[in-house]
Amino acid sequence: MSIEQLESVALAMVAPGKGVLAIDESSKTITKRFKAVKIECTEDSRRAYRQMLLTTPGLGDHISGAILYDETLRQSADDGRSFVEVMRAAGVLPGIKVDMGTTALAGFPGELVTQGLDGLRDRLKEYVSLGATFCKWRAVITINEDSPSSACIESNTHALARYAALCQEAGLVPIVEPEVLMDGDHDIDVCYDVTEATLRSLFGAMYEQNVMLEGTIVKASMVLPGKNCAEQASVEEVAEATLRCLRSAVPAALPGIVFLSGGQSDENATAHLNAMNQMGPSAWPLSFSYGRALQQAAQKKWAANPAANVAEAQQIVAMRAKLNGMAALGEYEPGMEAG
- Member of 290, 299, 310, 326 binding ligand 13P (CB under 6 A): 290
Nearer Cβ to ligand 13P, position 94 or 262? 262
* Cis amide bond preceding 148, omega within 30: yes
Sheet holding 19-22: strands in order across?
19-22, 63-68, 93-97, 134-141, 173-180, 217-220, 256-259, 286-288
Write down the least CB distance from residue 140 to ligand 13P, Å: 9
Of the pair 179, 196, the CB lying nearest ligand 13P is at 179
User: Where does this chain touch ligand 13P (CB under 6 A) — which range of 194-202, 229-237, 254-262, 279-287?
Assistant: 254-262
Closest CB to ligand 13P among 20 and 59? 20
Looking at residue 76, the DSSP 8-state letter turns out to be: B
Please tell me the distance from the alpha carbon of residue 106 to that of residue 286, in angstroms, as a whole number.
Answer: 35
Report the nearest approach of ligand 13P to the CB of residue 221 (Å): 8
- The one-letter amino acid code at 40 reads E
**Of the ranges 81-89, 113-121, 289-297, 308-316, which one interacts with ligand 13P (CB under 6 A)?**
289-297
Of the candidate residues 19, 225, 226, 262, the single one contacting ligand 13P (CB under 6 A): 262
* Binding status of residue 99 toward ligand 13P by CB under 6 A: no
Which residue among 25, 111, 177, 196 is the active-site one? 177
Q: Give the C-alpha distances (Å, rounded to integers) separating 260 from 44, 129, 177, 285, 294.
A: 27, 28, 9, 15, 10
Least distance CB 136 / ligand 13P (angstroms): 7
Query: For ligand 13P, which residue of 51, 216, 261, 274 counts as binding (CB under 6 A)?
Result: 261
Q: How many CB atoms lie within 10 A of CB 318?
A: 18
Question: Considering only residues 100-139, where is the footprint of ligand 13P by CB under 6 A?
Answer: 138
Residue in 293, 298, 323, 328 binding ligand 13P, rule: CB under 6 A:
293
Quick check: 22 binds ligand 13P (CB under 6 A)? yes
The strand pair at 63-68 and 102-104 is best described as unpaired
Q: Tell me, rounded to whole angstroms, the distance of Cα 181 from its chain centroid.
A: 13
- Per the CB < 8 A criterion, the answer to whether 266 and 320 are in contact is yes
User: Which position among 94, 255, 291, 325 is part of the footprint of ligand 13P (CB under 6 A)?
Assistant: 291
Candidates 136, 178, 164, 149; CA nearest to 262 is 178
Q: Please report, for residues 11, 274, 279, 285, the alpha-carbon distance to residue 330 in angstroms, rounded to integers and kept in the order given.
A: 18, 5, 8, 11
Q: How many residues does the chain have?
A: 339
Residue of 18, 97, 136, 219 marked active site: 219
Count of residues engaged in binding ligand 13P, rule: CB under 6 A: 10
Q: Can you tell me the distance from the alpha carbon of 63 to that of 132, in angstroms, rounded to the nearest whole number?
A: 16
Active-site annotation holds for 214 = no
Please, which residue, 2 or 286, has the CB nearer to ligand 13P? 286
Quick check: 260 binds ligand 13P (CB under 6 A)?
A: yes
| CA nearest to 182, candidates 222, 155, 151 | 222
Pick the binder of ligand 13P from 33, 162, 292, 322 (CB under 6 A): 292
Print the binding letters for residues 38-77 with ligand 13P: x by CB under 6 A, - otherwise: ----------------------------------------
Asked if 177 is part of the footprint of ligand 13P (rule: CB under 6 A), the reply reads yes
145 catalytically annotated: no
List strand residue ranges (DSSP E) for the chain, in order: 19-22, 63-68, 93-97, 102-104, 112-114, 134-141, 173-180, 217-220, 256-259, 286-288
Active-site residues, by number, are: 177, 219
Interface residues with ligand 13P (CB under 6 A) are 22, 138, 177, 260-262, 290-293
